[in-house]
Structure 1
Amino acid sequence: MRGSYGLLRYWAKIGLLLLMLTMVGCNTLKKVEDDELLLIKNSIYADDEKISNEDIRGLIAQKPNSTVLGYPLRLNLYNLAKENPDSSFTDWLHRKEKREQRLNNFLSKKQVDRLRESFVVKGASDFFKRIGEPPAIIDTALTQKSIERLEAYYNSKGYFNNSGAYTIVNSKRKKRAEIEYNINLEKPFHIDTITTNIASKDLDSIYNTTVEASFVKQGEQFDLANFNNERERLTALFRNSGVYNFQESSINYDILRDTTIAADDQLMDVQLNIQNPRSVNDSTNTNDYRIHRFKKINIYADYQITATGDSLKSIDYDNYTIFYNNELKYRPKALADAIFFLKDSIYRDLDRIRTYRQITNLNTFKYPNIEFIPDSTRTQLTSNIYLAPRPKFSLNLDFDVTHSNIQQVGTVFGATVITRNVFGGAETLNISARGSVGLLTNPSLSNETFTSELGGDINITFPRIWFPFNTEKIIPYYMLPQSRFLIGTNFQQNLGLDRQSFNTILSYNWSPSTSLKNNIELLNVEFVRNVNTDNFFNVYQNTYSTLDGIADDFESEPGFEDFYDENVDPMLDDNDELNLLIPEGANSFIDAILAPGSSADSETVASVQSIDERQQRLTENNLIFASNYTFTKDSRTDINDNNFYQLRIKLESAGNLLSILDGIVPYNKNDDDQLLVFSVPFSQYVKTEFDFIRHWELSSSEVLAFRSFLGMAVPYGNSESIPFVRSYFAGGSNDNRAWNAYELGPGSTNNLNDFNEANLKIALNLEYRFPIAGDVKGALFADAGNIWNVFDNEENPDAVFSDLGSLADIALGTGLGLRYDFTYFVFRLDMGLKTYNPAEEASRRWFSDYNLRNAVFNIGINYPF
């Protein structure tokens, strides 16, 4: 990756140079005429009080040019464009008498004409205009339009007699000005009495039971937003109380006072009108809104537009009539459980929405069509639900090209076969296979040149809670329950220790609302087998370097000579002529130092023992038998919502069930008194995680994003440490971007291992996101955090979280980033600088490596949080 970082630094310098040239070489007023003024600021005052509300400021029709950290980048990019590139090219062509003729002879007249349309002549200007922004010249017509918008806004807040004016204030800098908008509010109107005129008796009865929940209240200041909210509330109320055909347009209000005439009391009377719907064929004929109940519910499975009613068969199940062609491919209960309409119950819009969601959740049908047909009494409904099946089988293929610090280049391929409605209950079966082939970056890690990986899994999803007991009362179907059972395996060759893994998951998830989600993994079993453990010191070369450095002092010891060889890897230590053999020499040296009666001092023994424990931990096979629960709350309403928060809490426990079974089925034990299952000590720990994300929309195009993460895993019983695959690491494109992944920590240690990990993690991230030009976005960020060891067998005090004083080890990285929005995903490049590095001496922790040479570049897809 060093070559990649060097290239990224090179382009970063080029980009910085271009930006500096743009800032120095551009004249902001280049395209502002002498009789024009460049708008630099808008200010709004209501009764002399300055308004900072973004919703109100958004009413201004003309805004100043956008800036990047106070610099009008897009304006100056626009200024780089030539107004008439064709004329400039023509002037240049005719500047010398025979220039055009020589070009025609050299290129031909047709090619000279094409040169006129080329990027060099015209395309560059078009490009700068497209990504740039024309100067915001003050336009009094737009200014007056802004006044009208502001007056209308304050009208909607009860200030019916407000008046507005604007003032253009010239800046001390030439040809620049700001606009001050001043609104004189006058006294607001308040609601005195509220009367109703409801034509339908059924609606009147429903309304009177909920009148206290009204948004429009006596004595409050008039606010049009409250009236709109009340119309929405009443529409939802009526449509969830049996009035299936109620329309919001039937609601209107009368203001019983002339609001253009000011008075001392400024009170108004309000009348709520709810009219009956008009007949489609006769606008003068109306029918009362009525409460409807379901008379009949029909489900058309395998619906085809060309099918006729006479050709369909039908069965009745639990007050539903199911129509189908030839044979019914679905269990009736599976279809009935997805429908929330009940015979003889009133119509509710909520049930219609839940029915749509659950049918979609089945992943077996296309988006359904639901029809409601009233009878002649206008009090009963027949519902027809048309279900068009999705294809029984489908195939997804994936192909990707990757690069990492292990592989120079790799190809990843995968295939998934999806089978729907496997057992007739809308179950979905996924059978996946994946593989990869890559070229090793460092051939010394293996005797081979290529890496390979092969894996696959079988995943079946049930649209219900698959459990011996009935859970419908606790988790009803409108919560979109799902059960998932997965079994999979993965094999690696020439990647690290050539890991083989097998995993099984039985999980349940459900969503009480669109913002809440629960997930329980009742069973999460993972078995990890390291095949090529002799490759440890080739893979973890930092660990080997430490051990080889210790071994330098023992080269002349009797009986140690067979542990060394000349120039095994001279890149590890240029000053050594002898290096420990891998793996025989390294392992024999460890045994000799740790053997009773060794001549090594206590400090050396402790260091070698730490290396030996790390080797055993990373080469031992792991059996993880865990269960976990995850709660997620997301307040985001849609993808355009930039004011939201996300909360995720996870609790996990591993090994408890196996530990309990020890009293029933005795296990074998190893020399460390650990219980063994299939000759492997199982992991036992508890783990908890707290993840919180908050976004604030500063303006229509600027966002401040914050994330906090706290995670801790505590081993106990059968374990002294957390399995590597369940531990925490710091650094990388989605964490602290001033460090590469696995390089930060633990604690104040400095790149102790090749892959640094621990069982406690704190992470805090803050990012300011802003537009630059077109689809190019920018970001300024600050990432803080670290990992530590706690309550495990780690003895290095620099890596252990001992008390609150350990918070001084929290690292801080700051930097900037560029993003390009491809609509479907965002490509991200971040440059992080080590602002506070706890691995340095106390006097050098702040800004010691704060320069471009030590910058860390991270590439990512989509935003980190």
Structure 2
Amino acid sequence: MKYKSTDNFPIFIFLLSLLLGTASCSTTKYVGEKEYLLNKMVLKVDDKSINTGELKKNIKQKPNLKILGVWRFHLGLYNLSGRNENKGFNKWLRRIGEEPVVYEEFQAKRSLKQIEIYLRKKGYYNSVVRDSVLYKHKKAKIYYYVTANQPYRYRNIYHKVDELPYHFLSESQNKQELSDTSNLRKYVAADSLSSNIKSGLKVDSDILNEERIRISKLLKNQAYFNFSREYIHFMMDSTNKDHQMDVFVGMKKPALSKATLKYRINKLEIFTEYDSKLVLMNDLVYLSELDTMEYENAEFVFRKRMKIKPDVILSSILIKKGDLYNLNTVEQTYSRLQSLNQYKFVNVKFEEVHNTKSDSIGLLDCIIQLTPFNRQSYSVELEGTNSSGNIGFAGNFNYQHKNIFGGAEIFDVQLSNARETVKSSQQTDFNSSEYGIETKMSIPKFLLPFFNAEKFRKSYNPKTSFSLSYNYQQRPDYTRTIADASFGYFWKSSKYLRHTFNLVELNFVDVKNLSDNFLGSINNLYIQNSFADHVIATSRYSLTYNDQNINLPGNYNYLRFNLEVAGNTLGAIDKVFGNSKTIDYDDNGNIEGSYYDFFGIRYAQYIKSDIEYRFNHRINKANTMVYRLFFGLGYPYGNLKVLPFEKSYFSGGANGLRAWQVRSLGPGSYVSEDAIYPNNTADLKLEANMEYRFKLVWVLEGALFLDAGNIWAISKKDDRKGADFQLNRFYKEIALGTGFGTRIDLKFILFRIDLGLKLRDPSLEESKRWIIAHRPFRMNQLTFNIGIGYPF
């Protein structure tokens, strides 16, 4: 009765009825009289080591897509269409929907055969696969049963012909093999410890193919340019070996003698403004403008003049005249040229030099074709936000020059302006404005004063970055300006690992015009200090791991780790030179402490670190689960024993716990009775999110989410009641929120709307924190968020 008394309960009932009605519509509307809808597919395997996900890919017929595991939304759209398929509306419904999957016995038998083939590829030569079908109410449920039986495993692995048992190769097969004395066979045998084929592993044709690719790369890295993986083969013998196989890694004698010939780079030719269209058209104007220049044993071909300094281009090219051909060097050259962000097209090709004087080594001309981007570009960005009634908009003007000084430097300028209307606890609105300018410069060099890091530069191709920014924020309660300067580096140590190291980062924060109402709302001295004028001199390191493959949708991991240390260098300088401290007085004129300053402004000292992990699990093309964990901790000490406001953690908002307005949650169970607007920050943050995303219609997507977490204070000087982190109670102060959202994915941008609902609120009395059991539902309890892009 408590829930029925709410004004919006009829709306809830209507929406629920609509949802159930859609879900319960006949799914067999367009299934023929003697046909059956494939309602469910069940795969049962008796060997848990077999990858059932890969096994399911071999099944030719799968049931219609489901949302939440039960709702065939796309089939329902198709069934909403009328019988006349020529009508425009019916055609549209069928196009965006999904046609019913009708069970076919032929496809089931094909699936059985494909499963058997897959199992044999994985070493299960004696497996048994069968199926059974259950028919009920025009629906079919098919079961696939796999009895794997004992798999075959590798026993002995041979890389030399002389090591083989006498019966392994026939006389004709023996004649086709490269001899053990050949250099190619020696390279492969010497590198056998790196082989993917190991004694005791299950026989796997995919592993054999990977080994073929590995050996081919190994030999190409030894200058065998014309060697092909097709020359590598495997012979296996399982006779009387009790589910074991001996494997011989064979290498056939190449039909072409060039395949066993090493190659050296004869000439390096670089086209810096290559236009494939004009070349194919044999454009006389384009060809007449080409000029040639010799520089550092390389020949540059350009139009009119060199736009980028030749030494900058050569520093990204690891292929050198006179060196032996090496595939790794070629791949790294591709990667480095693309990372310059100067060229939209990069091609490295080789041409053999014929009629050479030597028969023992071949010669290659290396031709590198580079097609540049436009040097200058600009863009305009507009954003709108709405979080629990806080309406705002922002605009950015971005300008980029990709080669401002001729050294492939990338120069960015961003002008920004934002305004927001914020609702206070007194139900009055006030406006805030923000203006900013930011400039960045990225240089494809490793600038490190007083140190020689040539080996590091060659290995990781680091870049140096500079940035300057100025930000002005005007609010009714205070005015703040932030000036920032940084100098650092970024590089990639592997395909998935990226590092950023800001050696020096300076922030000057000036806070003025603090209103009496604002100071009254933060009567805690510890929090007031976080709004004082200060300088932050920090060094920051960030590591990011991301194994996402944009071109191949699937599961991927994302890990980000940050470590930040501030104020130690300035503190050491003050102590070494014996600089005097400034006395700090409180509002009553009493001495509160003392501190060092930097150009008359107090500087902060702290250490801060956080780690974030995300896992994206792709269930199928229409359903995805995303998980996120975040933990962060900042510890202030020394000169300013409080984390600056802009370095503190907060919770709530469109990218955190979406059932709470931004900065309105925590710390812990703390409740601020005097706060005019949400502004809660703290030193420690713990957050976990789970989001189920599903495709709906066209560009429309849906999401259901569950968010949990909070922030806490760790300093003993923070005396806000319930704000401190305690092991015996922090888990009782975990906030929990849920909700649903819609997304509009336009590929180049994604608009997001999320509605969050509180489930557990730590700011309430401990016995009443579960809101579902203690409060009737009302629409105004939903927290409304608009954002750009996915929340995580």
- Rate the CA distance shift 1:620–1:405 in 2: closer, same or farther, 3 A: farther
**Partner in structure 2 of residue 598 of structure 1:** none
**Partner in structure 1 of residue 374 of structure 2:** 391
Q: Distance in 2 between matches of 1:214 and 1:531?
A: 66
Q: Distance in 2 between matches of 1:450 and 1:703?
A: 39
- Matched to 1:767, the amino acid is E
Answer with 1 or 2: which has the greater Rg.
Answer: 1
Q: Distance in 2 between matches of 1:665 and 1:9?
A: 71
SS at match of 1:232: helix
- Matched to 2:399, the amino acid is T
Q: Assess if the C-alpha contact under 8 Å between 2:531 and 2:645 holds in 1.
A: no
Q: Distance in 1 between matches of 2:14 and 2:253?
A: 69
Structure 1 residue 182, shift from structure 2 partner = 3.9
- Rate the CA distance shift 1:11–1:145 in 2: closer, same or farther, 3 A: farther
SS at match of 2:119: helix
Q: Assess if the C-alpha contact under 8 Å between 1:747 and 1:798 holds in 2.
A: yes
**Partner in structure 2 of residue 314 of structure 1:** 293
**Partner in structure 1 of residue 589 of structure 2:** none
1:111-150 to 2 correspondences below 5 Å: 122-123=88-89, 125-150=90-115
**Partner in structure 2 of residue 682 of structure 1:** 603
Matched, 1:429 2:353: no
- Rate the CA distance shift 1:76–1:697 in 2: closer, same or farther, 3 A: closer
SS at match of 2:316: coil
Matched, 1:153 2:118: yes
Q: Distance in 1 between matches of 2:189 and 2:326?
A: 19
Q: Which deviates more, 610-619 or 147-156?
A: 610-619
Q: Distance in 1 between matches of 2:78 and 2:30?
A: 9
Structure 1 residue 132, shift from structure 2 partner = 3.0
Q: Assess if the C-alpha contact under 8 Å between 2:665 and 2:710 holds in 1.
A: yes
Q: Distance in 1 between matches of 2:188 and 2:447?
A: 42
Q: Which deviates more, 849-858 or 131-140?
A: 849-858
- Matched to 2:413, the amino acid is I
Q: After superposition, what is the alpha-carbon deviation per residue over 1:130-179, rounded to whole angstroms, capped at 9, x for unaligned?
A: 343333321112112212211221232344465644322234xx233311
Q: Distance in 2 between matches of 1:162 and 1:448?
A: 71
**Partner in structure 2 of residue 710 of structure 1:** 631
Matched, 1:790 2:714: yes
**Partner in structure 2 of residue 294 of structure 1:** 265
**Partner in structure 1 of residue 55 of structure 2:** 56
- Rate the CA distance shift 1:795–1:221 in 2: closer, same or farther, 3 A: closer
Q: Distance in 1 between matches of 2:362 and 2:50?
A: 53
1:356-755 to 2 correspondences below 5 Å: 356-375=334-353, 376=356, 377=359, 378-402=361-385, 408=391, 410=393, 412-422=395-405, 424-436=406-418, 438=419, 440=421, 452-473=433-454, 475-494=456-475, 497-534=478-515, 537=517, 540=518, 611=523, 613=525, 616-617=528-529, 619-638=531-550, 640-663=552-575, 664=577, 666=579, 669-672=582-585, 673-699=594-620, 701-750=622-671, 753=675, 754-755=678-679
Q: Distance in 1 between matches of 2:512 and 2:48?
A: 73
Q: Distance in 1 between matches of 2:129 and 2:14?
A: 50
Structure 1 residue 792, shift from structure 2 partner = 5.3
Q: Distance in 1 between matches of 2:147 and 2:420?
A: 73
- Rate the CA distance shift 1:248–1:612 in 2: closer, same or farther, 3 A: same
Q: Distance in 1 between matches of 2:27 and 2:114?
A: 30
**Partner in structure 2 of residue 581 of structure 1:** none
CA-based RMSD of the aligned residues comes to 3.8
SS at match of 1:620: coil
Q: Which has the higher contact order (CA 8 A, sep 6+)?
A: 2
SS at match of 1:703: strand
Q: Distance in 2 between matches of 1:478 and 1:224?
A: 34
Q: After superposition, what is the alpha-carbon deviation per residue over 1:333-386, rounded to whole angstroms, capped at 9, x for unaligned?
A: 323211112344322221111111212222334432222233334523232323
Q: Assess if the C-alpha contact under 8 Å between 1:81 and 1:128 holds in 2.
A: yes
**Partner in structure 1 of residue 72 of structure 2:** 72
Structure 1 unmatched ranges of 5 or more: 1-5, 87-116, 279-284, 547-609
Q: Distance in 2 between matches of 1:782 and 1:682?
A: 39
User: Hey, which of these two has a bigger chunk of strand by percent?
Assistant: 2
SS at match of 1:68: coil
**Partner in structure 2 of residue 858 of structure 1:** 785
- Rate the CA distance shift 1:399–1:14 in 2: closer, same or farther, 3 A: farther
Q: Assess if the C-alpha contact under 8 Å between 2:67 and 2:623 holds in 1.
A: no
- Rate the CA distance shift 1:775–1:275 in 2: closer, same or farther, 3 A: farther
Q: Assess if the C-alpha contact under 8 Å between 2:270 and 2:299 holds in 1.
A: yes
SS at match of 1:238: helix
- Rate the CA distance shift 1:746–1:430 in 2: closer, same or farther, 3 A: same
Q: After superposition, what is the alpha-carbon deviation per residue over 1:307-352, rounded to whole angstroms, capped at 9, x for unaligned?
A: 66996342342x4444555555544432321111234432222111
With structure 2 as the length reference, what TM-score do the two structures score? 0.83
Q: Distance in 2 between matches of 1:165 and 1:225?
A: 24
Q: After superposition, what is the alpha-carbon deviation per residue over 1:651-702, rounded to whole angstroms, capped at 9, x for unaligned?
A: 1111222222223273561434222333322112111112222334445544
Q: Distance in 2 between matches of 1:819 and 1:728?
A: 27
Q: Assess if the C-alpha contact under 8 Å between 2:661 and 2:783 holds in 1.
A: yes
Aligned length: 739
- Matched to 2:111, the amino acid is S
Q: After superposition, what is the alpha-carbon deviation per residue over 1:629-657, rounded to whole angstroms, capped at 9, x for unaligned?
A: 11222233446454332222211111222
Structure 1 residue 513, shift from structure 2 partner = 0.7
1:188-199 to 2 correspondences below 5 Å: 198-199=177-178
Q: Distance in 2 between matches of 1:391 and 1:774?
A: 34
**Partner in structure 1 of residue 591 of structure 2:** none
Q: Assess if the C-alpha contact under 8 Å between 1:198 and 1:204 holds in 2.
A: no
With structure 1 as the length reference, what TM-score do the two structures score? 0.77
**Partner in structure 1 of residue 590 of structure 2:** none
Q: Distance in 2 between matches of 1:67 and 1:644?
A: 22
